[in-house]
Amino acid sequence: MSRAPAGTITLAGKTVSRLGFGTMRLTGPGTWGDPTDRDTALNVLRQAVHDHGITHIDTADAYGPHTVEELIRDALHPYPQDVLIATKVGMIRPAPEMWAPHGHPAYLRASVEASLRRLGVERLELCYLHRIDPEILLDDQVAVLQALQQEGKIGHIGLSKVTPEDIRRVHKEQPVAAVQNALSIIDRDDPALELCRDLDIPYVPYRPLGAGSLAQSHGVLAALDWLLNLGSHVAPIPGTSNPHHLKEIVTAVAGWV
């Protein structure tokens, strides 16, 4: 396996490549259903890990929904010891391009159980609350993840698309293992970035290449270099369904150690 791209970071108790791989694009159009070319999707996952040294794979039960977790299992299981598979629960998909938070405790518990089966693991090493459901008390949503953690089904708990207030509220009672928010060279304003630095929480920016648009307008190197320079706690997760684009992304950060 090649050297970890962009150096390493400690995430969910494991040392992984600072450059992760986001898997949302390994679906059909609208983040819905199976990819058009399943073999290519499987190969992209294998190349990310085995050829390019990426050891942080990010996914969610809502991608597909469910199809990407199955792809990851088919491509990579049994998982190499140094690979972290992070997933997210708490979002439902009524239709293509449609997303809605669903944080009822019974649903979150069922979602974790289903992700365990799809990924073929006994524990989700890093499980994010994909979105805070405004209809359910945040404490109740976190409590069910804590219960699953105590049962050994979740290793570490993360938060996605959250404010500094959300982070402080949860972190006061439960260590937040990672925060995943949107951040890029053209979407620069997230006060959670500095809070995560202060609290020593890894910050995982999603959509770092703007679903590919920033690679064309600013270049992959400029877009990722800007993020990596924000601090050693920043671990971007660009994604692609194209093996050539994947190689371009990894090559762009080859000078980072």
Q: Which are the catalytic amino acids?
A: 63
Q: In the 8-state DSSP scheme, what is residue 217?
A: H
Backbone φ, ψ for residue 91 (5° rounding): -140, 135
The H or E element containing residue 196 is: helix 192-199
Q: Which residues are CB-neighbours of 171 under 8 A, at least 6 positions away?
A: 199, 201
CA atoms within 13 A on the CB side of 219: 7
The one-letter code for the residue type at 140 is D
How far is it, in rounded angstroms, from Cα 240 to Cα 215?
11
Strand partners, 91: 101
The DSSP letter of residue 211 is: G
